[in-house]
A and B are shown apart, each in its own frame.
Chain A
């Protein structure tokens, strides 16, 4: 549905995105992780068209109209001085959407006559999401929005998000630092580093490929073990192995443990900092 070709972007002569080629299919839920400054937000902005790439292109196939693309940015400085009611009118006119469903506002007990700036960060996120829902989105881009939303609102948001996906078969691309709540949802995971994707895997495949071993204080680390990231304290010696292969279980006399997605992504991001120091 979306095809990104040779996409590059520079900010003040510094390359932010370098020659990205990637495709996203209809109804996919993709999680993008990576260290701060890897280029994740810039990539999303290039997809929305907010930023024009230096070179390369983003194709939307099957007649995907910009009106059906929703984007929730990291900083939410929108419609500050408007009342909710005015903002709704404005948004539905610009995106030429049909009726606005106010059930979410009612659930959150938000007054349509209050100003957007009086809402909490979490409420604003959900308010913007309710505007986007009126667009019947076929593509939704989420830029690290869950961390600022409290647990109660996060729950409401996730319910509505899953409803939306079921209803419109929306493709969702989510940039995230907090994974636990949504970690069962994405079927595909990307890891970004230095403006490019270093990992593009089905979630289930990635889970098979990253394992953890724990060593005792005097046990040596086997030389030929591919260690992605390690954690060493006087009490803990943990090594994250990637790419893990099943035959290693017999090759090494070690216990290879499964990891949750949050730990897997943490080890890739940690691996970046290790490489940077070397």
Chain B
């Protein structure tokens, strides 16, 4: 009962908030007129950016600007981390960071993944946290939102896709910054620390010394949650009482995970001028989200298998790796939300989820389009849409169309390539590391669960998620290099290919809908889309799932 109330509050409340936010995001990202405040912001952004921002860009120029900017942010973050011992705001005297770990961390934060092979309170100075990592949490998220706005403009049939540098500033300053301030204020009121002081020293009641790491946590956590970033200030992320001190902060943080991804659907609908189509997409995503929530809650209500034969009263489900203050359902709810989107923050340890519950986050990352990462979630969904209209077109023998434009060989090839890349990076990487000491030598659990740790890590890197089966000893050179490369490829290929598709579609002549056109505003289309997602997206990974979580579950079946 409490679980259902919690889900109603979080999912229902966020869905309700997403509507006005979607409206606002449309205003912020793609203003209809440049008068009033929108115009003033626009002039300011163009003044900051200089001459290049006065030019409208086609998809190639847009992509090139996106890549250039990301190269710059990568370099700046890298410099901050590499120079850490010599920079200020380092009250606890954090030392140099090893090279492959810097590469992995910077790749991770540039790609909006926030996979963390380091532990924040052990390795990072306050300056590194703020200027290398939190800054990326703003601009990498803004990159995703900008890319979505560009894709939507292409699909709306406009001649150009906008200007990346203006879009990036709009997303940073008009969307992310105000929301982050609101969430940070709420977190501060909920008891999250916010200070530039170093660790506090305590003498415990039993006379031991306890060193208490702290820092500017509230500001960091707010944007971490909102920008589908997920990289925590502390190692154990939002399970740490300083990141998430109570029931109230947990509700706020969970809602912050998914509010922008939900609103992005409405923003998209408004830009392409097809709100009914956006509603169908929203419903498809919501159906998948609720299905995953249901499965996770049911499986996580099962007690901890390892305590089965001990005198331990287990009537509240599996508590290993969970915090009591959030309530019993909060762990699996967050686990589903954080992997439906590409957030990757955690409020319970996913490694310690029951085997089949642990499969649900993996499915979330394999599909990666149930609302998905800010901006990029819908871009991933666009791949499925292209494939769905193509398959549907083949079934009825008509040339497939999307938003009045013909989807032809070139577009479908690119869509298949994007999907294939995702699968190849996950399954190829898993195979390589499971078969070599690179992976097998770093496990925290044996057998099928050990395999799951490897599978999860590559899924997380390829989905730009960032959560992990954290027992994995992943701070090794092979892991740092491999997942770093996977994150970079898995970030930019699935942004560039859909932008190319949208660019190609935009150049085609719009055709009037005929009787043979597959209506994209209908329930039929929704069902077709779900079927495509499940058959193409999920089944690709079924054999791997059978070797990991499913095998582990069956081993203990009674």
Q: Do A and B bind each other?
A: no
**Which residue numbers of A lie inside 8 Å of B, CB to CB?**
none
Measured CB to CB, the residues of B under 8 A from A are: none
